[in-house]
Amino acid sequence: MTPSKSKTHVTTPGLDFQSILLNLQRYFASQGAVILQPYDMEVGAGTFHPATTLRALGPDQVWRAAYVQPSRRPTDGRFGENPNRLQHYYQFQAIFKPSPADSQALYLGSLRAIGLDPDMHDIRFVEDDWESPTLGAWGLGWEVWCDGMEVSQFTYFQQVGGIECNPVPLELTYGLERLAMFIQGIDNVYDLDWDGVPGDQGGKCYGDIFHRAEVEFSGWNFYHAETDMLLTHFRDAEAECGRLLGLETPLALPAYDQCMKASHLFNLLDARGVISVTERAAYIGRVRALAKGCCEAWIAEAANV
C-alpha cells in the first residue's frame, strides 16, 4: 500500500476533513456545548482531556463540551504503509452531562450535520461496553455502525477514577479519519481530502500533511525512543503527580497533567516492547492509581470551592 501522491486526490467540497470537523463543532455548539480546543498534551484518546475525565465528576450538574483531540497510539503506527492505521489521529469528542433524554437523537443529528443522512443508510447500535483500565473508568453503550462501518462510540459513563458518576454523562466519540473515509467513499486514509481545494490549486490531502509524520514517528515509537529516558520520565511524572496530590491543598489539575504524561509514556514504552505481559498490568495499575488520586482531589477541592 503506498500513500497517494498529492495533487491527484478527489476533492469533496463540504465533505472534506476540515469541513466535517467544523460542522461537528457547529452542531454541538448549537446543542449548547462549549466548544473547547484540544488539550495541549499527548494523550491516547479524547476521553483523557480533563474536560471529560474530570468534568464527568464533580459539582457541575450540567456540563456540555465538544472538542477535537489529536490522539496518539504509538503501537498503531505502520510507517505510513497501512491504509487504515495511524499512530496519530483525530478524535472528536462530545460530553453531555447529564445524558439527554434522547441521546440517540442528539447523536443522529450530528451525523446529519456532517452530510451523513441516516435515512439513506443502515445505522444501528451494537453492544460495546467501554472500559478504560488506566482511567479506572467504565460505561455501557454501543458501537454505532453505519452500513457495517463502526463510525462512533456511544457510552453512558458509569464510573471514572473508580468514582460513581452522578449525574451520568453521555460520551460520543468519533474517529474522524474513519468517518471521513466513509463519507468521502475512499479506502486509503492518506487519500482523504483535507480542505476541499483541488490539488492543482494547492489543496492538500491527508497524506500531504501527515504521511511523513507517520513514517518518522513510527520509527521513533518502535525503534529509536530512548527507553531508559522514557522510564525515567515515567517515574518522574508519577512522583510529581503523587507529590502534587500530597500537598496540603492538592493541585488536582497539574497532578492530572502528570498522570496523562505517565499514561502516554507507558504507551511509548509498550510500543518499544520493553514491557512484559505481567509488567503491563502493573504499569496500568500505577497509572490508574494516579488517575484515581487526581479524580478524588478534583471532587474534594471542588466541594471546598
Partner 1 sequence: MSKETLDLFIELVQEEIPARMQDQAGKDLLRLVTAELSAANLAFENASYVVSPRHLALYVSALDSRQADSIVEKRGPRVDAPEQAINGFLASTGMTRDQLVEEETPKGTFLFARSESKGAATSDLLADMITGILANFPWPKSQRWGTTRFRWVRPLHRVNVLVNGAVLDGTLDLDGALMLFGGTSMGHYFENPADIDITGITSMDDYTTRLADAHVIVDGDVRRAMINDQAKALAKANGAIVRPGMTDEIAGLVQFPHPIYGAIEDRFMALPDEVLEASIRSHQKYLTLSAADGTLANGFIVVSNRLPDPDRDAVILAGNQRVLRARLADAEFFWNEDTKIGLEDYLPKLADITFYEGLGSVHDKAMRIEKLAGTIAGYMAGVDAVKAARAARLAKADLVTGMVGEFPELQGLIGGYYARLAGEGDDVAAAIAGHYRPQGPGDSLPESNIALAVSLADKIDSLAGFFGVGAKPTGSKDPFALRRAALGIIRIVREAQIRMPLGEIIELAASHHGFAKADGDLLGFVKERLRVNLRDEGIAHDVIAAAISDDGGANDALDDMLLMADRATALDAFLASSDGAGLMAGWRRAASILAAEENKTKTTFSAATKPALFANDAEGALYAAVTGLSDSDAGMADANIQTKEDLSAMMTALGGLRAPIDKFFEDVVVNDDDPDIRQNRLGLLALIRAKMQQVADFSKLEG
Q: Which residues are within 8 A (CB) of 20 and not within 5 positions of it... i.e. 6 or more apart? A: 114, 115, 176, 179, 180, 183
HSE of 36, CA atoms in CB hemisphere, 13 A: 20
- Name the segment binding partner 1 (CB under 8 A); options: 6-14, 45-53, 136-144, 199-207: 136-144
Shorter beta-carbon distance to partner 1: residue 185 or 228: 185
Residue 50 Cβ vs partner 1, minimum distance, rounded to whole Å: 22
Pairing of strands 137-146, 130-132: antiparallel
Binding track over 78-97 against partner 1, x by CB under 8 A: ----xxx-------------
Reference 154, options 165, 145, 163, 164; nearest CA is 145
The owner of cell 466513509 is 182
Residue 155 Cβ vs partner 1, minimum distance, rounded to whole Å: 10
The owner of cell 522514557 is 230
Burial of residue 298 (CB within 10 Å: 0-12, 13-18, 19+) is buried
Site residue total, partner 1 (CB under 8 A): 44
Question: Buried b vs exposed e over 201-238: b needs ≥16 C-beta within 10 Å?
Answer: eebbbbbbebbeebeebbebbbeebeeeebeebbeebb
Binding track over 18-57 against partner 1, x by CB under 8 A: ----------------------------------------
Counting contacts by CB under 8 A, is residue 60 touching partner 1? no
Counting contacts by CB under 8 A, is residue 101 touching partner 1? yes
Shorter beta-carbon distance to partner 1: residue 25 or 221: 221
Counting contacts by CB under 8 A, is residue 129 touching partner 1? yes
Contact positions vs partner 1 (CB under 8 A): 1, 61, 82-84, 98-101, 103-104, 118-127, 129, 139-140, 142, 146-149, 156, 158, 165-168, 170, 182, 185, 187, 273, 276-279
